Chain A
Amino acid sequence: MKRGIETGLHSGGAILSLFAEADLDDLHNATLEVLERGGVLVEDDEAIDLYADAGCWVDRETHMVRIPPDPVARALLSARRSFVLAGRDPAHDVMVEVGRVTVCPFAEGFMVNDLETGKYRSSVLQDVIDIARISDALEDIDINVCGVTARDVPEAVAELRQLEMMLHHTAKPWMMPMTSKVMAEFGIAMGAAVAGGHDKLRERPLFTYSACPVGLMHLTASATEVNIACARSGVPYACVSMGMAGASSPVTLAGTLVVQNAELLSSLVLHQKVEPGAPFYFGSSTCGFETRRAAAAVGTTECGLIQAGTALMGNYYNIPSWTGGYQTDSKACDCQTGHEKTLTGLLAMLAGASTICGPGMLETGVTFDVAQLVADAEIVAMTKHVRRGIPVNDRTTFVDEIISVGAGNEFLSSKSTLKGARSLSQTKLIDRQVREAWEAAGSPDYYEQAKKEARRILAEHEIEPLPADVAQEVRAIVEGAEVH
């Protein structure tokens, strides 16, 4: 079982301090007020019925659902503090929990930079496979994803084809955006075929579905359908709010967190009503809206702070959080990319998000670049290293040794130095050579090195294939769905 890197709820490590306890209480109380007096707009009638049963005030004409504090409190009480995302290979099982950080690549782009030609083009099913296989090989990527949309297959069946490829091409658990009840249920059937039955899938869910409420406090039919399907099947639901400060939510970050919180808590109320204790990710991909350019921007300080704020709200509620991070608005692997990915990733990491999603993305999430994914894995490793902080204890302070070495001498030849060297950050792509060595090696470029490594992984990395009968069963479900 893989556990994420520990965060501030445990002793030690570097953690971000962003809010006072009273700030968090204020954000929570403001959300309760918004949910009770403002309410959320819910499209789907089945969802409205469930809200009514849960003790909410529903208006079937306007589809407004107002949620008093007690259903919220009940949902928070039954929500899980941790859940398992199971790998097809149990060595890759991940415990998703409050207080430990894991990382998964970005989901879901629709353009790629072709690894071989460098060409910018629409994403296809083969890209889904390549991203899954590379992520499977990268040690610092804890959870896999369906990284792009397969635009070379009919849109109506794309989700299931993608899902099938994910079942084939990774032994890690993974995450995938899902848009409807029908597709969600077919996918669950496919997962059950691999897991060995619906009960087995519930016990060891191989994937998590994500779906987004659409701001402003608007739960689309698609979002509530996936929410309910997840709760019924035991597949964890990553509820990812996608507000835009200044467009679908107030321009202030605090106001945006309140709106997002209303969307997430109302989704949680529905989810926990269907199945108390069902696994739920308190998620955010909320960002800032650049009014000047009328575009969303994700590589920003604002986005980093919102993600960090989301992680801290998740911790406050004791629900695993899911945030963006390692994201950029840059179109290429350049200085802006390195800066924005480190900025947004480090903020989410130090705030203690349970899962941070973003490596591999360029261009505000439009483009997925597998070389960038490899490059970002190294940034992830460095930020995890920062998260570990500076442990201070008798095994690290070395006072006696400092005194016995004495002033003016050296520690190069100390046994402890040799032994401890492995605890320092190690890099594969990041260049730390002196200039002469760097020039002798042909002045290697980070992105070019990453491309080489991506090609190496694709050529060499092997994943245990699905048993033939299981693969066939999965295929039959996809074909059945395509007829349907």
Chain B
Amino acid sequence: MIRGMRAGLRHQGASLNLFSEADVEDLHMATLDVLERAGVLVDADDAVDIFADGGCRVDRETHIVKIPPEVIAKALSTARPQFLLAGRDPKNDVLIAQGRMTVCPFTEGVMVNDVDTGVNRMSTLKDLKDNLRAGDYLSSYDFNTVSVTARDCPEATAEVHHVEAAFANTTKAFMVSMMSTKMAEATFEIGAVVAGGEDKLRERPLFTYGYCPVGPMYLTEICTEVTIACARLGIPACCIAMDMAGATAPITLAGTLIVQNAELLSCLVLNQLVNPGSAFYYGTSTDCFDMRRGSATVGTAELALLQAGTSVMAKYYNLPSWTAGY
């Protein structure tokens, strides 16, 4: 039996339709409006300077930075749709790209359920090492994470212990939370030794630094330090909005996506102003605030929708996205 050639565009795989094109446009336009008229609160003076030089209207008294649309358009035009996260073993290299999905374990817990005793207790460096080895072994995880804080290490320098443990216990690329310029520079040095030089590390970044703006539209010193450090050092920035619908953002999911978008786009602007073309993850771990119980909740329909909405927005911007899940 001869069958004619199949015609038409084929669509492969299962995907989610969440927004119409007009919905996404609306969310984008609303964000532009918010960034231009309300602006973001930026603690650190060096970051305010960079925003000012980049064409934003800054108020040095109130630390409010208002970002006009053309500055955002420019940042979006220089941002990368994909970047490499390199494994210490190159067969574990991962291409982080808009439109392709990868999975990594959770980051960053402070307690563990002990695998032997079942007791819920504080996490230690040993736990981190165990988790890294398990994450390295499991083929479902495309790259690894610093999954728990080593609470038996000094808090001020925890990151260097985390990165040291990561290099010793996985040959996959990994994500590590970062709290300061100082720690970013120190861990970059460790990475450079492993990679065989700073240039080599830039070419094949062995890790990405995770960090968070604080809602609503508030970029703390930690947030801008790591955003700037990533751009200067050439390490992919994993910028993770952590809003809570009903607390740091409006109760509606659409309103929450707008607040989150304002935070992420303002961090992107800062990142791209420092070094156009820097690798930047459009990230979220935004959830809902449960008013009755006074706590954040993550295993919810709302969290799932917010993560899905974030990846749709990232697709619209042609940026790789980082979301929670599982």
Contact = CB atoms under 8 A, between A and B. Distances in A.
Given A412-B247, A433-B295, A402 B18 contact: no
A437 B250 CA distance: 26
Nearest to B288: A424
Given A397-B26, A407-B216, A433-B293, A15 B16 contact: yes
A298 to B, nearest CB: 18
B250 A407 contact: no
B18 A401 contact: no
A251 to B, nearest CB: 19
Contacts of B258: 397-399, 402
A408 B14 contact: no
Interface stretch (B33-41, B133-141, B157-165): B33-41
A16 to B, nearest CB: 6
Contact of A407 (B7, B19, B39, B297): B39
A150 B142 CA distance: 50
Contacts of B34: 399, 402-403
Contacts of A408: 41, 216-218
A403 B38 contact: yes
Contacts of B26: 392-393, 397
Contacts of A405: 216
Contacts of A421: 246, 251, 291
A397 B22 CA distance: 13
A424 B302 contact: yes
B117 interface: no
A397 B34 CA distance: 11
A417 interface: yes
Interface string B1-42: 000001111110011111110010011001001100111110
Given A20-B8, A408-B41, A417 B250 contact: yes
Interface string A385-415: 1100111110011110111011111111010
Interface in A273-296: none
Contact of B14 (A20, A308, A399): A308
B254 interface: yes
Interface of A: 8, 11, 14-23, 26, 305, 308, 347, 350, 382-383, 385-386, 389-393, 396-399, 401-403, 405-412, 414, 416-417, 419-421, 423-425, 430, 432-435, 437
26 contacts: A11-B20, A14-B17, A14-B308, A17-B14, A20-B9, A21-B8, A22-B6, A22-B9, A347-B14, A390-B18, A392-B19, A396-B253, A397-B30, A397-B254, A398-B250, A398-B255, A399-B30, A399-B34, A402-B262, A406-B38, A406-B216, A417-B291, A423-B251, A424-B246, A425-B300, A432-B299
Given A14-B18, A423-B252, A424-B246, 8 more contacts: A15-B16, A15-B17, A382-B300, A392-B19, A406-B216, A430-B299, A432-B300, A433-B293
